[in-house]
Amino acid sequence: MSILFLRLIAECPDASAIESVDLDARSRLQPWHPQIDAAPAPYWKLPEHVEFTYHLSPGSAEAHVAITALEPGGWDHRNPDPDASSVWNKSGDLSFLHWRVVWAELGFVETTGATSRDG
């Protein structure tokens, strides 16, 4: 089983900004069937920012590469395959999924074997 998740942090002063970021992000991520993990909520470190979390499928290394290619600049690829982790930081004119997004983390984890939920 593979897990692909995306966390976004965006500057959102009001509910309409939250809705705009969410709609644009889900639209751009449509090829990967974005599922909202939790309702957007204030980011604990910066209350004027909102955190969005999505699970994407298929969870694959190829999807990880394709999503980071949506904005090739600004990424720091932290872990090699099979578990990839990439962090994006807004810099200059770079924009990932929506102009209000200031930070993103895209994680791909390849899981093997039984889990505690497998019984």
Instruction: Tell me the pLDDT tens digit for each residue of 52-63.
Output: 999 999 888 888
Give me 47's structure tokens: 């209350």
Sign of CA dihedral 27, 31, 38, 97: negative
Give me 64's structure tokens: 């990880």
pLDDT of residue 79: 67
pLDDT of residue 83: 65
Domain boundaries, the chain: 2-118
pLDDT in tens, 88-116: 999 999 999 999 999 999 998 777 654 44
Q: What's the rounded mean pLDDT across residues 47-52?
A: 93
Give CA–CA dist 38/76, Å, rounded: 25
Position 82 confidence tier, pLDDT thresholds 50, 70, 90: low
CA distances from 39 to 22, 42, 61, 79 (A): 10, 10, 26, 28
Give CA–CA dist 65/76, Å, rounded: 13
pLDDT of residue 81: 58
Give CA–CA dist 85/82, Å, rounded: 10
Position 51 confidence tier, pLDDT thresholds 50, 70, 90: very high
pLDDT over 60 (residue 33): yes
Cβ neighbourhood burial of 32 (10 Å; 0-12, 13-18, 19+) = buried
The domain made up of 2-118 has a fold known as 50s Ribosomal Protein L5; Chain: A, (3.30.1440)
Q: Which residues contact 27 (CB under 8 A, 6 or more apart)?
A: none
